[in-house]
Amino acid sequence: MLRALIWDVDGTVAETERDGHRVAFNHAFAEAGLPWTWDVDEYAELLEVTGGRERILAYMRRRSDAPAGEAEREALARQLHPRKNAFYAELVAQGGIAVRPGVLRLMDECRAEGVAQAIATTTSRANVEALFASLLGSDWQTRFAAVVCAEDAPAKKPDPQAYRLALQRMGVLPQEAFALEDSPNGLKAARAAGIACGVTRSAYFTDARFEGAAWLRNDLVAPPPVTLALIRSAVSGLGG
C-alpha cells in the first residue's frame, strides 16, 4: 500500500541546477574575486559530485590557481558555499525558478488522498526554504510530514541516508513509499533505501542511464500523466 511520496528537490521539483545553483556559484566566485566561471556544459560534469561545498572542493582539485593546502581549500569552500546559497535564495525569491509541470498537481492529489509527503534532498535547508516558499507560499511546510536536507543527512546521495531518515521520521516502511528523482545518484539513493523510484529527466540527465527505475519519463505530464493511481500500480507491481 502506498503511504508516502518522497520528493527529491533539485531537478525534480524545479530545474534549479542550470538556472539557479550554477548561476549562484558563479556570483559567489565573482564576489570573492576568483576568476572561476561554471558554464552550462562544465556544470554537467561537476554535478557528478553531490553537495555544493563538496562540488567546490572537487573543482579546486583541478585548478592550479586554487589554494594548495587541503585546510585552506576547505576554508575557502566553507566561505564560498553560504554566499552561494544567499545568491540562490535571492534568485529564487525574485521568481527566477519555475516549478516543473505536473508537480503541484501531484502534490495536491497526495494531500487530497491522504498520502503523506516528504522531501529527501542533498541540498542545504536554506535552499529548500527559499524554493518552496516561492513555489508554494510561506506555509509550505504544512504539506510535508518530513523535510530531510543536507544538514540532517550529511552522507550525500547516492548514499541512502536522506531516504532512510525520511522513512524513519514518517514511520513508513520502504515498501510503503515511492520516490521521485531526476538523477542517477538520486535513483541509487532511493533504491539503496529499498524504495521504488520513478524518474523525470531534468536538463542535465537527458542521456543518463537509470537502471532500476520503476518508470522513466521526461516529466510528470506527458500523456498519460503521472497520477497517484499510476504510482500505486507501480508500487503494487513491485510487491509493495
Contact positions vs ligand XBP (CB under 6 A): 8-11, 17, 21, 50-52, 85, 121-124, 127, 150, 157, 183, 186
Q: Least distance to Mg ion from the beta carbon of 123, Å?
A: 8
DSSP string, 94-149: TT-SPBPTTHHHHHHHHHHHT-EEEEE-SS-HHHHHHHHHHHH-TTGGGG-SEEE-
Closest residue to ligand XBP, based on beta-carbon distance: 52
Query: Which is closer to Mg ion, CB of 119 or CB of 167?
Result: 119
Closest residue to Mg ion, based on beta-carbon distance: 11
Q: Least distance to ligand XBP from the beta carbon of 113, Å?
A: 25
8 is catalytic: yes
Query: Which is closer to Mg ion, CB of 176 or CB of 182?
Result: 182
Q: Least distance to ligand XBP from the beta carbon of 58, Å?
A: 11
Q: Least distance to ligand XBP from the beta carbon of 178, Å?
A: 16
> Of Mg ion, ligand XBP, none, which one does residue 122 interact with (CB within 5 to 8 Å by kind)?
ligand XBP
> Of Mg ion, ligand XBP, none, which one does residue 200 interact with (CB within 5 to 8 Å by kind)?
none
User: How far is 142 from 144, CA to CA, in rounded Å?
Assistant: 6
236-240, Cβ contacts within 8 angstroms, sequence gap of 24 or more: 238/175, 238/196, 238/214, 239/175, 240/1, 240/2, 240/175, 240/176, 240/196
Query: Which is closer to ligand XBP, CB of 212 or CB of 227?
Result: 212
In the complex, the residues that contact Mg ion under the rule CB under 5 A are 8, 10-11, 182-183, 186
135: which 3 cell numbers?
A: 513555489
> Of Mg ion, ligand XBP, none, which one does residue 17 interact with (CB within 5 to 8 Å by kind)?
ligand XBP
Query: What are the φ/ψ torsions at residue 194 (nearest 5 degrees)?
Result: 85, 20
Query: Which is closer to Mg ion, CB of 73 or CB of 157?
Result: 157
The answer to whether 148 touches 177, Cβ cutoff 8 Å, is no
Query: Using the 8-state DSSP alphabet, how is residue 68 labeled?
Result: S
The answer to whether 37 touches 123, Cβ cutoff 8 Å, is no
Query: Which is closer to Mg ion, CB of 15 or CB of 182?
Result: 182
152 is catalytic: no
User: How many alpha carbons lie under 13 Å from residue 187 in its C-beta half-sphere?
Assistant: 19
> Of Mg ion, ligand XBP, none, which one does residue 150 interact with (CB within 5 to 8 Å by kind)?
ligand XBP
For residue 197, the SS3 value is: strand
Q: Least distance to ligand XBP from the beta carbon of 189, Å?
A: 8
131: which 3 cell numbers?
A: 524554493
User: How far is 206 from 148, CA to CA, in rounded Å?
Assistant: 26
Q: What are the catalytic residues?
A: 8, 10
